[in-house]
Structure 1
C-alpha cells in the first residue's frame, strides 16, 4: 500500500496488471457537537477531456446511486462512503473521475470542514486489498464547504490515482460551476 501526499499520483493499472475494478473509500472524523453538526455528502463526477462532467447522468451521489453506464455505484460500509468503480465499464470519453465531499447547507444549516480532524481517501481492489491511500492534511478549514479528495484518471490506456485535497469556499455551487454540473 502506498501513502500519498497532496498532488502525488500512483499508477494503478500499470502496477497491478489486470486490475479492472476498484473501490474508492472516503472517510472523515468530526469533532462531536451538542449542537447542529455539518452534514457531509460524498459525490463523484465523470469528466471528459475538457475536465467537465460529461452529463448529469455521469454523477453518483445520494439521489443517484448508480451512474447511467453502471460503471460507478455506491457500495459497502467499510469506510463512511464507498464507490465501486468498474474501470472496464467506464466509457472511453471519460478521462477522469473526481471524488469530493460537500457540506449540505439545507440539512443542518451552514457548516464547514472546521470540525473535520481526520479524513482520507483510499483505493482498494474489489477484494478490499488497499492499493493507495491519501490522508488529507489537517489545517484551517473554517471557510471550506466542499473538498476534492482525489481523482482517478486515464493516462494513455492506463488508470492512475491523484491525491488532491483541494478545498472550496463556495461549496457545491463552486464545484458545479467548475465541473459543469447542473444543480
Structure 2
C-alpha cells in the first residue's frame, strides 16, 4: 500500500496489469457533540474531458446508486469505511475522463454544518478483493468554513487509469460543487 500526499498521483492499471476495477472507499470520524452533529454524505461525479459532469445521471450517491451501464456503483460502507463506490473499468464509457469523489455536509439531515468536527478523513483505493493499493489521509484543516470536500479522483491517462489525491475544500458546499461540475443540485 502506498500513502499519498495532496496533489500527488499514482498509476493504477499501468502498474497492475489486468486490474478490472477498484473500490474507492472513504471514511472519517467526528468529534462527538452535545448539539447538532454534522452528517457527511459522499458522492462520485462522472466527468467528461471538460471536467464537468456528463449529465445529472452521472452523479452517484445514496439516492442514485449507479450510472447507466453500471460502471460506477455506490456500494454503501463496511465496518472500516463510511462509504464505498465500486468502479468497473470495462463498463466505464470511453467519454469518461475522470471520476471525482467528494463528501459534503448534508444540511437536510441535521441542519447547516461544516467539517469542523471531522477528523481522520481518508480515501483509499483497493482492488476488487479489498486489498489496498493506495491511501490518502486528508490533511486536517480549519474546517469551520468547509461544507464540502473533494477527496480525490480517478482519471484516464492515455489507455490507463490513475488516481490523484486532492483534499480540496469548498466553503460554499454543494453550490460550489455544482458550479465546478456543471450540475443543478
Question: 2: distance between equivalents of 1:11 and 1:145?
Answer: 30
Moved beyond 6 Å, runs of 4+: none
Question: 2: distance between equivalents of 1:69 and 1:54?
Answer: 14
Structure-1 residue corresponding to 2:104 = 102
Structure-1 residue corresponding to 2:149 = 147
- Give the secondary structure class of the aligned counterpart of 1:173: helix
Would you say how many aligned residue pairs link Structure 1 and Structure 2?
A: 183
Unaligned runs of 5+ in 1: none
User: How many Å apart are 1:62 and its aligned residue?
Assistant: 1.2
RMSD: 0.8
User: How many Å apart are 1:20 and its aligned residue?
Assistant: 1.6
Question: 2: distance between equivalents of 1:21 and 1:72?
Answer: 10
Structure-1 residue corresponding to 2:66 = 66
User: How many Å apart are 1:41 and its aligned residue?
Assistant: 0.7
- Bigger shift: residues 54-63 or 76-85: 76-85
Structure-2 residue corresponding to 1:8 = 8
Q: TM-score, normalised by structure 2?
A: 0.97
Structure-2 residue corresponding to 1:120 = 122
Superposition map of 1:28-107 within 5 A: 28-75=28-75, 76-77=77-78, 78-107=80-109
- Give the secondary structure class of the aligned counterpart of 1:57: helix
Unaligned runs of 5+ in 2: none
Question: 1: distance between equivalents of 2:153 and 2:49?
Answer: 14
Question: 2: distance between equivalents of 1:31 and 1:53?
Answer: 33
Partner deviation per Cα, 1:134-160 (whole Å, 9 max, x = no partner): 000012111000000000000000000
User: How many Å apart are 1:99 and its aligned residue?
Assistant: 0.1
